[in-house]
Amino acid sequence: MNDRQVPFGRGLLYGVYQSRLKRWLQTQQRPKHVAMIIDGNRRWARQRGLETAAHGHTAGAAKVHEFLTWCDDLGVEVVTLYLLSADNLTGRTAEELADLTEIIADLSEDLSHFRDWRVQHVGRTAGLPQGLVDKMLAAEKRTADHRGLHINLAVGYGGRAEIADAVRSIVRSHNEAGGTLDNLADDLTPELIAEHLYTGGQPDPDLVIRTSGEQRLSDFMLWQSAHSEFYFVEALGPDLREVDFLRALRDFARRQRRFGQ
């Protein structure tokens, strides 16, 4: 949802510009995994004088579907969406959380019926409404054999919690296998920890995008983003345009990723 009015001539020029960007990107390095921090839904609703934040979250969910289509059409393989943080579960009102979790539940179901997309929940289920957990689980099962765009829904997610959960999983598995503490110390490597993250087996995000002009990670993919490129967009979540996304990809293509070299 976007009520900004663009003059016809300017809109035509944007269309030409957007088409040129797409053609240029076809020959450039593009990210395999894009992570998106969708921010600004509540501000979007306030700026329009809407009664509740739910209007902004609904508009943001509609934009998510557009964004994923842009990614899929340009050959992105994995997208991780930061929809609800662990901090949100204690920092938002019960009314807003009820609306937001219902919107996310509907979104997860809708995405599981579109194209050949695969949907996966990443995050903890503790503190989430059972209805939301059930719908995300159903979306995972429904799309488990899909081979299209892989979509991670980061819901009830915290980066520090994810690392803690990974280490606990390693310790538990090691103990069940009869391993000793000394062996565990020798075996505990970055590669092993990565295997036990919620995103185990997936490539780390090449590009992390955040809307609304804020420039922080907010406990998002702390481990996986160690070598990611970052791009910050001024537009609020529901106002994100395809041309904004294409500019992010252009910026990514122009960067030299040295990985310490």
Tens of pLDDT, residues 79-110 = 999 999 999 999 999 999 999 999 999 999 99
Whether residue 186 has pLDDT greater than 90:
no
User: Domain with 60 in it: what CATH number?
Assistant: 3.40.1180.10
pLDDT band of 183, cuts 50, 70, 90: confident
**Would residue 211 count as lying in a domain?**
yes
198 in a structural domain: no
258 or 79: which leads in pLDDT: 79
Any domain includes 195: no
Q: What is the pLDDT of residues 102-159, one digit of tens each?
A: 999 999 999 999 999 999 999 999 999 999 999 999 999 999 999 999 999 999 999 9
**Alpha helix positions (H), the chain:** 8-25, 41-47, 53-73, 88-91, 94-111, 130-143, 159-176, 181-187, 190-195, 242-254
Q: Is residue 197 part of a domain?
A: no
Annotate 9-26 with b (16+ C-beta within 10 A) or e (fewer): eeeeeeeeebeebbeebe
Per residue in 188-211, pLDDT (tens digit) is: 999 999 999 999 999 999 999 999
pLDDT digit string, tens, across residues 201-248: 999 999 999 999 999 999 999 999 999 999 999 999 999 999 999 999
Query: What's the mean pLDDT when you consider all of the chain?
Result: 94
Active-site positions? 39, 88
* DSSP SS3 for 251: helix
Nearest to 101 by CA among 110, 113, 88, 91: 88
Query: CA 41, CA 27: separation in Å to the nearest integer?
Result: 34
Residue 6 has pLDDT above 70, yes or no: no
Q: Is residue 8 part of a domain?
A: no
**Is 122 inside any structural domain?**
yes
Q: What percent of the chain has pLDDT over 70?
A: 95
Q: What is the predicted pLDDT for the residue at 13?
A: 81
* Model confidence band, residue 8 (pLDDT cutoffs 50, 70, 90): low
Residue 189 lies in a domain: no
Structural domain span for residue 55: 32-158+204-254
User: What is the count of structural domains for the chain?
Assistant: 1
pLDDT at 143: 98
Q: What angle (nearest 5°) sits at the alpha carbon of residue 11, between those of residues 8 and 12?
A: 90
Q: Is residue 13 part of a domain?
A: no
pLDDT tens track for 11-23 = 778 789 999 999 9
